[in-house]
Amino acid sequence: MTREENDLVTRVGPGTPMGTLMRQYWVPALLSSELPKPDCDPVRVMLLGEKLIAFRDSLGRVGLIQNHCPHRGASLFFGRNGDCGIRCVYHGWQFDIHGNCIDMPNEPNESDFKRKVKALAYPCVERGGLVWAYLGPRAELPPLPDIEVNQLPEGECAIVPTMLECNWLQAVEGEIDTSHSGFLHFGSIQPDDVAEGTFLHYTVKDRAPRYSVVDTDYGVMYGAYRPARPGYTYWRIAQFMFPFFTQTPEGILGHHVITNAWVPMDDYHTMAFIMIRKDPREQAWPGRHPIQGNADKYPTVQTPVLPNTSEWFGRFVSAVNATNDYGLDRARQRNGTDYSGIPYLPAQDRAMQESMGSIYDRTQEHLAVSDVMVIRVRRRLLAAARALAERQVVPPGVDCPAVYRNRSGSIILPEGADWIQATKELRQAFTDHPEVLLQQP
C-alpha cells in the first residue's frame, strides 16, 4: 500500500474521501442508555472527526447537535436541557433536535432573528439499544441496515462498547485476521489440552489455515479452512460489511448471532460496539469446550471498564490499557500459561492494534498469504471511496438494507464440499436452525 492509499483509507474527517463514504451510511453514535431519560444530562460525542453534543429532549427524542453554539461559539455541552431543546447558558439561545433556534431571549420580542439561525444537527434513530445517526447529505434518508442482532426483542441483545486508541481500520483488520487466534489467543494451548473434535482442537492442531475469499454485495466474506476428522474440513466463515461492520467466526454457523461495529470517532480513536445475541444454550465463546485440566490457559473474556467521564474520549475506556501494559504478566508468558502474557482476550487484541500507533504506516508492511482477507477489504474500501469521489457511485449497501442479513460462524463440512453453497442457508439471518447445535461440537 502506498502512503497516499494509506491516508485515503484511514482518514475520516469531513471532506476526506473515506469520511465522505462513511457519511453515506447510518452510523452507531452511542448507547440509548447513555441518555437514560428525557431532559437528562447531555453527552459529548466524537463521531467521524466531528465534536457533537447528544441530548434527549422532553419528548424522549434524541438530538445530535454541533458542539459550538451558533451565536458566539460556547459549547452546548454546558447547556440546560429542557422544554424540548438544549439552551446555551451563555445567552440563553435554545435549539431543538433539528437544530432550529426556538428561543432567543436576549433579543427584543419583536425580533425574528431566531428564524434565521440554525445549528448543525443530524437525524437520529434508536434501534436495539443503539442511537444511530446520519451525517450525510441526503434530504431523503437512506434505510438503516438490516443487521439481525440490532433488531432482536428487548433483552435478547447484549452490547459491549469499548473505546480503542487507534485508527478504525486497525481494529477492523484485527477482526478479519483469523490466523492470529491460534497464536495471540490460544498459542499456549496444545491439541491434547482440549477435547478432540471441537473447533478449538482443530484450531490449535493446525495454526496455518488456508483461505477462500469472495467479494459480496455488502463487502467481503472469507472461509478459512483446516483439516478436521478424517473426511471432513473445519471452516471459519466471517464477514466484512461496509463501511466498518464485521461478523466473527467464533460461534456455530446458523445459530450464533453477532455483529461488531468499529465506528471512527476521529482518525486516532475508535468506538467498538460488540452486539451479540444472548443465548443460555451457548457458552461465552460458542464452539469451544473448556480446556481439560488447565482452565488458566483460557483467556478471560470480560475486561474491567473505567467509569465514564464527560471528556471527548472518556466513554467506555478499558481499565486494562496501555498505561498498565494491558495487564502483561511476563511470568505467565514464560511459563506457558498465556502465549501473550495478557490474560484478557479483548485486551490481547487491543494491545496489538494500539501498539501499531495511532495510524500504522502500511508502507512498512510485508503482507503474506495469510493476509488475503485484509488485502481484499482494503481494495474494496479504496475502490468504493474513489468511485464515490470521482463518479458519485453510491457505496455498497447504502440503499440495500437486506444485504446485511448475514451470519458468521464455524462449521465442519465434508471434505471437498462447496463451502459457499453448503452454508448458504446457514448464513441467512432471521432464520432458526436448532439442528446445528446437535450436529456441531
Residue 434 has a pLDDT of: 85
What SS3 state is found at 268? coil
Phi, psi (deg, nearest 5) at residue 46: -95, 125
Determine the Cα–Cα distance for residues 413 and 411; give it in Å rounded to an integer. Answer: 6
Residue 286 has a pLDDT of: 36
In this structure, what C-alpha cell is assigned to residue 351?
494491545
Determine the Cα–Cα distance for residues 146 and 130; give it in Å rounded to an integer. Answer: 14
In this structure, what C-alpha cell is assigned to residue 249?
467466526
Residue 413 has a pLDDT of: 97
The answer for residues whose C-beta is within 8 angstroms of residue 438's C-beta and 6 or more apart is none
Residue 295 has a pLDDT of: 58
| pLDDT of residue 374 exceeding 70 | yes
From edge to edge, which strands make up the β-sheet containing 50-56?
43-47, 50-56, 62-66, 121-122
pLDDT-wise least confident of 163-172, 264-273, 294-303 = 294-303
What SS3 state is found at 66? strand
Instruction: Give the type of residue at 437.
Output: L
Residue 3 has a pLDDT of: 95
| pLDDT of residue 348 exceeding 80 | yes
* Domain range summary for the chain, segments of one domain joined by +: 26-139, 149-439
Residue 47 and residue 30 in contact, taking contact as beta carbons nearer than 8 Å? no
Residue 415 has a pLDDT of: 97
Residue 258 has a pLDDT of: 96
For the chain, percent of residues with pLDDT exceeding 70? 95
Q: Which of 168, 221, 173 is nearest to 396 (CA)?
A: 221
Residue 62 and residue 55 in contact, taking contact as beta carbons nearer than 8 Å? yes
In this structure, what C-alpha cell is assigned to residue 158?
447484549
Phi, psi (deg, nearest 5) at residue 170: -65, -40
Chain segment 275-310, per-residue pLDDT in tens: 999 876 554 443 444 455 555 666 777 789 999 999
CATH superfamily of the domain spanning 26-139:
Rieske [2Fe-2S] iron-sulphur domain (2.102.10.10)
Residue 223 and residue 413 in contact, taking contact as beta carbons nearer than 8 Å? no
Residue 307 has a pLDDT of: 97
| pLDDT of residue 266 exceeding 50 | yes
Chain segment 116-166, per-residue pLDDT in tens: 999 999 999 999 999 999 999 999 999 999 999 999 998 899 999 999 999
The answer for residues whose C-beta is within 8 angstroms of residue 373's C-beta and 6 or more apart is 176, 177, 178, 211, 213, 220, 222, 238, 240
Residue 287 zone, left/alpha/beta (φ > 0; ψ -120 to 50; rest): left
Residue 287 has a pLDDT of: 40
Chain segment 32-91, per-residue pLDDT in tens: 999 999 999 999 999 999 999 999 999 999 999 999 999 999 999 999 999 999 999 999
Only one residue has cell 498498565, namely: 324
The dihedral through the CA atoms of 340, 343, 345, 351 has a sign that is negative
Q: Which of 403, 36, 366, 353 is nearest to 184 (CA)?
A: 353
| pLDDT of residue 440 exceeding 70 | no
Please give the biggest Cα pair distance in the chain.
85
Mean pLDDT of the region 330-343? 93
How many other β-carbons are positioned within 10 Å of the β-carbon of residue 231?
A: 9
Residue 285 has a pLDDT of: 41
Give 60's DSSP letter.
S
Residue 283 has a pLDDT of: 46
Residue 425 has a pLDDT of: 97
User: Could you give the dihedral angle defined by the CA atoms of residues 50, 56, 61 and 67, in that order, rounded to the nearest 10 degrees?
Assistant: -20
Residue 436 has a pLDDT of: 85
Instruction: Give the type of residue at 260.
Output: N
Determine the Cα–Cα distance for residues 423 and 335; give it in Å rounded to an integer. Answer: 41
Residue 44 and residue 51 in contact, taking contact as beta carbons nearer than 8 Å? yes
| pLDDT of residue 13 exceeding 70 | yes
| pLDDT of residue 439 exceeding 80 | no
Give 142's DSSP letter.
P
Determine the Cα–Cα distance for residues 282 and 252; give it in Å rounded to an integer. Answer: 9
Angle between helices 168-175 and 372-391 (to 10 degrees): 140
Angle between helices 3-10 and 372-391 (to 10 degrees): 80
| pLDDT of residue 371 exceeding 80 | yes
pLDDT, averaged across the chain: 94
Determine the Cα–Cα distance for residues 375 and 139; give it in Å rounded to an integer. Answer: 35
Determine the Cα–Cα distance for residues 134 and 122; give it in Å rounded to an integer. Answer: 6
* CA-based radius of gyration for the chain: 23
Q: Which of 99, 27, 106 is nearest to 69 (CA)?
A: 99
